[in-house]
Amino acid sequence: MTTLTVHGGQILLGDVILPAANLVLADGRLHAIDPAGRGDIEIDLAGGWLLPGFIDTQVNGGGGVLFNNALTVDGLATIAAAHARFGTTALLPTLISDTHEAIAAALDAVDAAIVAGVPGIIGVHIEGPFISGARKGIHDPSLIRALDRKVIDMLCAPRRGVVMMTLAPEIVTAEDISRLAAAGVILSAGHTDATYEQARVGFAAGITGVTHLYNAMSPLLHRAPGVVGAAFTDDRIWCGLIADGVHVAPAALDVALRIKGADRLMLVTDAMPSVGSSEESFLLNGRRMTVRNGVCEGEDGTLAGAHLDMAQAVRTMRAATGADLRLVSRMASGSPAAFLGLDRERGTLAPGMRADFVVLDADLQPVQTWIGGVKVAGRETSDARVEGELTDR
């Protein structure tokens, strides 16, 4: 067992904020909260926060690596390590529309990474290619196609971690949606031009999420509510949000929070290789993508994912909405855990839960990240006295 004595700031345990606590860690979990005594390691938050680790359901890349271009354990380890620097303790590497062979390789690579114990990798997100050409965004139109039995069988096969898929409900049959959902695939509507009615049919068949709400989907119009309207009027649906100040206007972030609430909103990064890297360009399906002034774009100016980390998303969401940090933390941790069916072990800090947490300073900048009770990224907290040996991995 290891005991952390944490003080000098705010510690979010469940929905309760404590100014100090002794956190007893054992076997990768928060074993107990001991009000007395002195721990093995002391962390002075210096006015900052200790929050549950962030869970990101949409990560295309990081550390100079794009998942599509590095379908390997090493590639996944680089991506996960890059995002750990910003407080992400669990993520779904996301494959942007690609070939059958690439989908198979992505599924196998994530399985292998989980077996190898790569910190932070908990499953895979297949985004496309079974999407609408009218709402393709940066996805290569030559790769967009109909869902077929081969891919369905591939996705329905047993896997080591979570399997999530983004698809357009208007081009996939309700029967295929139901089969995927019955096999445990977590389905999200995205890159879709579905009508309100088509989206509702998809939800009834087994779709439980909406990928990057507002972006690349039919909007809410007063006579045509579209996918956005369908998501807003169905309390069962979780919605991802790219809170980078570019993809979604601050007022629209606020509207989403007022309508859906923190329990059904998930902050996502849609991150590209530039996160955690000095690289400002990369190739996607042979096309050049470039980061300009913090915005990732294709050569024609189309948004190409985001140059965004989860800590920045938390800061942006809080600034846009004025929400209590407990609510914003829920959008970054508890809600994605619930969406993925992992909320019995991740997404909040309480005895028995995984010891996945992030230390932020008073400005909500990341300081340390712990996964499974091990510090995997960060510096020592300011003015902190840290006893014992800690090794970043």
138 known member of a binding site: yes
**Cα–Cα dist 180/190, whole Å:** 16
270 is catalytic: yes
Task: Tell me if 79 is assigned to a ligand binding site.
Answer: no
Contacts of residues 321-329 at CB distance under 8 Å and 24 or more positions apart, as own/partner, are 321/250, 321/253, 321/254, 321/257, 323/257, 323/262, 325/10, 325/12, 325/49, 325/51, 325/364, 326/12, 326/15, 326/17, 327/257, 327/262, 328/262, 328/267, 329/12, 329/51, 329/52
Q: Spot the catalytic one: 193, 270, 309, 356.
A: 270
Q: Could you tell me which of 198, 199, 109, 208 has the C-alpha nearest to residue 159?
A: 109
Residue 201 carries which side chain, given as an amino acid letter?
V
- Is 215 labelled a binding residue? yes
Q: Is 303 known as a binding-site position?
A: yes
Query: Is 237 annotated as belonging to a binding site?
Result: no
Cβ-based burial of 340 (10 A; exposed 0-12, middle 13-18, buried ≥19):
buried
Burial class (CB in 10 A: 0-12, 13-18, 19+), 19: exposed
Is 55 marked as a binding-site residue? Answer: no
Q: Any binding-site annotation on 212? A: yes
Is there a binding annotation on residue 83? no
Distances in whole angstroms, Cα of residue 88 to Cα of each of 83, 110, 258, 336: 6, 17, 25, 12
Flag whether 101 is marked binding.
no
Buried b (16+ CB within 10 A) or exposed e, 293-321: eebbbeeeeebbbbbbbbbbbbbbbbebb
Tokens representing residue 188 in the block: 């999200």
Annotated binding-site members: 127, 138, 191, 212, 215-216, 223, 247, 303-305
Annotated binding-site members for substrate: 138, 215-216, 223, 247, 303-305
Residues annotated as catalytic are: 270
Annotated binding-site members for Zn(2+): 127, 191, 212
